Amino acid sequence: MTIIYRCQLELHDSLYFATREIGRLYETEPAIHNYALCYALGLVDSLIYSTTVAEEDSYRYFCPEQVPKYEQHLTPLNKQGIYLTPARAINYSAVLNTWKYANNNYHVEMEKTQKNIPSFGRAKEIAPESQFEFFLIAQKQLKLPKWIRLGKWMSKAELIVEELPKPKTHEGLFTCTHPLNPLDVMFTNQVISYDVVNMPPVSLIQNVQMRGQYYQFDGSKELKIPVRMEYRFGS
């Protein structure tokens, strides 16, 4: 039995991660990748959700190297029938913070005096009280945490979960306005047109017109979610 949850995040701190770098500006896109959400919600390498991984890929206690292991970490979610969509902003504002630092030398040799020019940059962050929405697809009832942390600063966010009515499955041409991970849908649906949201490690797509199977809900003709989404990875 397929269960779909509508999940809403409300930020209690400013959210920062460098989606793009434009000179000295580091900008945060008002979207959250589904890979990041899996880690933030504690779904990866979890005894609770039966998604444990091999010891050499362990994520629960200590990461010996800062090398992403998305395939090793997220494949167990496929086996449990757990899938998260990326999150879109439904209400947000941005704040711009400037940072700077100087080069402090505690030991200097006798040489010509040089100008002390601070290095600086700007970070565009998503402001507190901004709200995001994403969907969780599961094959059994799941209990998620009420509070999570996101981004470079481990920003605090509140999670509100609503179980949607039992979905009905349809097939044909449809449009999904919610952002999607293209790798997760392109093998089970015919993707026709879309807008790109540039975001590493895999750019997202939104306003996607596609042909295939999709979920729809009573009382909500606008919301259409592709069927058979799962985590897939490029070679």
pLDDT at res. 120: 74
pTM > 0.85: yes or no: yes
pLDDT > 70: what percent of the chain?
Answer: 90
Pairing of strands 25-27, 119-126: parallel
pLDDT at res. 235: 60
Is the pLDDT at 116 greater than 60? The verdict is no
Mean local confidence (pLDDT), 133-157: 96
* Alpha-carbon span 159 to 56, nearest angstrom: 31
pLDDT at res. 20: 80
The residues near 184 (Cβ < 8 Å, ≥ 6 apart) are: 34, 83, 229, 230, 231, 232
* Alpha-carbon span 136 to 150, nearest angstrom: 17
* Alpha-carbon span 186 to 64, nearest angstrom: 33
The mean of the pLDDT values for the chain is 89
Mean local confidence (pLDDT), 55-83: 88
Q: How confident is the model at residue 97 (pLDDT cuts 50, 70, 90)?
A: confident
pLDDT at res. 221: 80
Is the pLDDT at 110 greater than 60? The verdict is no
What CA dihedral angle connects 55, 64, 200 and 50, to 10 degrees?
A: 20
Is the pLDDT at 78 greater than 70? The verdict is yes
Q: Cα 65 to chain center, whole Å? A: 21
C-alpha angle 232-233-235 in degrees, rounded to nearest 5: 140
For residues 185 and 86, is the Cβ–Cβ distance under 8 A?
no
pLDDT at res. 108: 52
